[in-house]
């Protein structure tokens, strides 16, 4: 492994520098703007730190902070509880629709929140599908309330907790529960005092992911704002940048509190995790065996189908039905179905096509550059003795925790400097700033996927090739890349798909004459053109999925052939 050290250290410093410019510098710029307002625009003023306290006196600022806290804490509690319950049921019982539940979890995980939120709005609005088709007038007041938003958000975010807890339930060690039973404990007592505490690390990890994803979510507030005023920190930050005059002070202060909330959540998790050890797996550990009962399986299937009809059927079904419904006569039911919204989409397809092509170009750039950067980050984390490897790992995850709105503001501060223009690096107002922001957002996804694949390739294999005279490029080309090819394709496509529908960063950074697909869809939705927005969503999303499938067929034909043969 020492033979890999020289390249690993050089690569470590290079990776650290790239991550600094992509992630740390924009994030630091947001904090600096609060302390030294105007410093990025040539004004050396000392910040009035009392401005940080104004969040408790200015109505909009305070409402945004309270709403974000309420939504974040409420969603964390309910989504984690829901994810935990579903994971326990999935790991202990076998039923026919379990695969559908797993598929739904991944669909919800990769679907942008603004698309899910738009589906709920189309379903529950006063003139939406539930009211017009089913006569459920009560659904509007139920969904468009703080409590209703917590429920909607929980139904979208529970997959984060589900996956974290389900992975911890894969293995079981019966000796601890058996010892408790021998001492007279009931099944409930065993679960409450033995099994549940052992799940604490997974529950904390899932809860942290839910909280961070909820507190920084921009898509749901942006969609809900069309019919229900519920300001949150990300949406108020966005509003501060698109009012006249631009409120950089407001954006900086609210971004500071948004980052502070995320840091506080991570600190709480670290505190809980270091209080005890949880490494109970031993050679006696066995895989969880799922029980099968005919009567129980029937009720589990009914419950699972009912649940999927709500979490998948409502948001996606509402988008589909709204796209083929005549909005002028919603109460006609099936007789009001029409394709005129798609006809309008094709008749005025230039705007959609431009937005789609721009988003595809940005996503492709982010996927390629992010794949290169992510590969080197994963290499450093897996094979390098670089002494700041832990720092590389933490920084590579920061952009996953920091909301895209905050990162977007940082990019404005960093890349909107006059002195950058003579050297051709004035990126603000150009598509390149969108590409950089997309790369920063894609790095955590790419890195996690590639690290998992590299962990299976022993470093001794690369070291042996180096002893035979193979250069670094030759080792990577002929040994490492062929062994992790599938992971590279998966990582690149994951980054590509997530970048296409990145609403938060693109809403802040897109140039006026450079419309992107998510901004195009969201603007149509804000103009209350629900059916047109739904048709645009399905058309654009379908094309993106088709592109992903084609790329998979080109680069991994054996995977598809194996799946077809297995079927």
pLDDT at 46: 61
Out of 159-168, 328-337, 403-412, 488-497, which region has the weakest mean confidence (pLDDT)? 328-337
For the segment 245-269, the average pLDDT, to the nearest whole number, is 80
Q: Indicate the length of the chain as a whole number.
A: 567
Q: Is the pLDDT of residue 3 over 50?
A: no
Specify the higher pLDDT residue, 91 or 199: 91
Question: Which range scores top for mean pLDDT: 141-145, 304-308, 398-402?
Answer: 304-308
Q: Is the pLDDT of residue 327 over 60?
A: no
Question: What percentage of the chain exceeds 70 in pLDDT?
Answer: 81
pLDDT at 524: 81
pLDDT band at 558 (very low <50, low <70, confident <90, very high): low
pLDDT at 186: 67
The owner of tokens 């139904």 is 155
pLDDT band at 224 (very low <50, low <70, confident <90, very high): confident
Cα angle, residue 221 at apex, residues 215 and 227 outer, rounded to 5°:
155
The answer to pTM > 0.85 is: no
pLDDT band at 309 (very low <50, low <70, confident <90, very high): very high
pLDDT band at 7 (very low <50, low <70, confident <90, very high): low
pLDDT at 305: 92
Q: How far apart are CA 232 and CA 65, in angstroms?
A: 7
| Short-list 105, 195, 204, 206, CA closest to 156 | 105
pLDDT at 399: 73
Specify the higher pLDDT residue, 375 or 39: 375
pLDDT at 75: 93
**pLDDT digit string (tens) for 483-519?**
888 888 888 887 888 788 887 778 888 887 888 888 8
Whether the CB-CB separation of 319 and 534 falls below 8 Å is answered with yes
Out of 84-98, 322-336, 390-404, 513-527, which region has the weakest mean confidence (pLDDT)? 322-336
pLDDT at 77: 94
For the segment 519-540, the average pLDDT, to the nearest whole number, is 80
Out of 21-25, 274-278, 408-412, 510-514, which region has the weakest mean confidence (pLDDT)? 274-278
Q: Is the pLDDT of residue 196 over 80?
A: no
Which residues make Cβ contacts (< 8 Å) with residue 347, sequence separation at least 6?
none
Q: Is the pLDDT of residue 387 over 60?
A: yes
Q: How far apart are CA 459 and CA 526, in angstroms?
A: 53
Q: Is the pLDDT of residue 269 over 80?
A: no
Angle of the 404-415 helix axis to the 248-273 helix axis, nearest 10: 130
pLDDT band at 194 (very low <50, low <70, confident <90, very high): low
DSSP 423: T
Q: How far is CA 69 from the centre of its chain?
A: 19
For the segment 46-63, the average pLDDT, to the nearest whole number, is 77
Average pLDDT over all residues of the chain: 78
Q: How far apart are CA 396 and CA 383, in angstroms?
A: 16
pLDDT at 247: 75
């Amino acid at each position: 492994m020492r033979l890999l050290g020289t390249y690993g250290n050089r690569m470590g410093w290079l990776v650290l520098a790239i991550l600094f410019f992509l992630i740390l510098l924009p994030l630091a710029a947001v904090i600096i703007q609060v302390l030294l307002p105007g410093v990025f625009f040539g004004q050396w003023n000392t910040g009035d730190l009392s401005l940080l306290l104004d969040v408790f006196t200015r109505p909009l600022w305070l409402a945004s902070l309270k709403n974000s806290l309420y939504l974040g804490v409420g969603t964390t509690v309910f989504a984690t509880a829901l994810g935990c319950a579903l994971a326990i049921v999935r790991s202990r019982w076998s039923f026919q629709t379990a695969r559908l539940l797993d598929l739904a979890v991944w669909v919800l995980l990769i679907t942008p929140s603004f698309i899910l939120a738009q589906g709920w709005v189309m379903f529950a609005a006063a003139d939406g599908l539930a009211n017009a088709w089913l006569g459920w007038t009560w659904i509007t007041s139920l969904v468009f309330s703080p409590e209703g938003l917590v429920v909607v958000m929980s139904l979208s975010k529970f997959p984060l907790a589900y996956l974290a807890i389900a992975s911890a339930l894969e293995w079981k060690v019966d000796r601890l529960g058996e010892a408790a039973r021998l001492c007279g404990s009931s099944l409930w007592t065993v679960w409450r005092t033995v099994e549940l505490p052992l799940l604490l690390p997974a529950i904390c990890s899932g809860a942290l992911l839910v909280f961070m994803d909820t507190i920084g979510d921009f898509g749901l507030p942006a969609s809900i704002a069309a019919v229900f005023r519920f300001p949150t920190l990300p949406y108020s930050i966005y509003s501060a940048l698109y009012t006249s005059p631009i409120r950089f002070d407001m954006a900086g202060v609210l971004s500071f509190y948004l980052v502070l909330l995320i840091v506080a959540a991570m600190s709480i998790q670290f505190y809980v995790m270091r209080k005890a050890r949880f490494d109970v797996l031993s050679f006696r550990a066995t895989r969880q065996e799922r029980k099968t009962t005919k009567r129980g399986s029937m009720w589990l299937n009914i419950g699972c189908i009912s649940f999927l009809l709500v979490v998948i059927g409502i948001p996606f079904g509402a988008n589909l039905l709204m796209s083929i419904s005549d909005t002028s006569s919603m109460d006609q039911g099936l007789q009001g179905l029409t394709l005129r919204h798609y006809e309008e989409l094709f008749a005025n397809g230039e705007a959609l096509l431009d937005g789609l092509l721009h988003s595809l170009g940005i996503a492709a750039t982010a996927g390629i550059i992010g794949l290169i950067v992510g590969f080197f980050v994963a290499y450093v984390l897996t094979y390098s003795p670089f002494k700041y490897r832990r720092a590389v790992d933490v920084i590579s995850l920061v952009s996953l925790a920091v909301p895209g709105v905050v990162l977007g503001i940082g990019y404005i501060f960093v890349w909107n400097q006059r002195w950058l223009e003579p050297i051709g690096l004035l990126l603000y107002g150009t598509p390149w700033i969108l590409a950089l922001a997309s790369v920063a957002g894609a790095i955590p996804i790419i890195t996690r996927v590639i690290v998992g694949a590299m962990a299976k390739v022993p470093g001794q294999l690369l070291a042996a090739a180096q002893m035979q005279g193979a250069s670094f490029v030759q080792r990577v080309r002929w040994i490492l890349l062929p062994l992790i090819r599938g992971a590279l394709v998966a990582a690149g496509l994951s980054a590509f798909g997530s970048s296409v529908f990145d609403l938060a960063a693109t809403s802040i950074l897109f140039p006026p004459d450079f419309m992107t697909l998510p901004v195009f869809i969201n603007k149509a939705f804000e103009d209350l053109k629900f059916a047109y927005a739904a048709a645009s969503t399905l058309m654009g999303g379908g094309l993106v999925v088709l592109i992903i499938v084609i790329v998979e067929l080109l680069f991994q034909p054996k995977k598809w052939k194996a799946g077809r043969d297995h079927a």
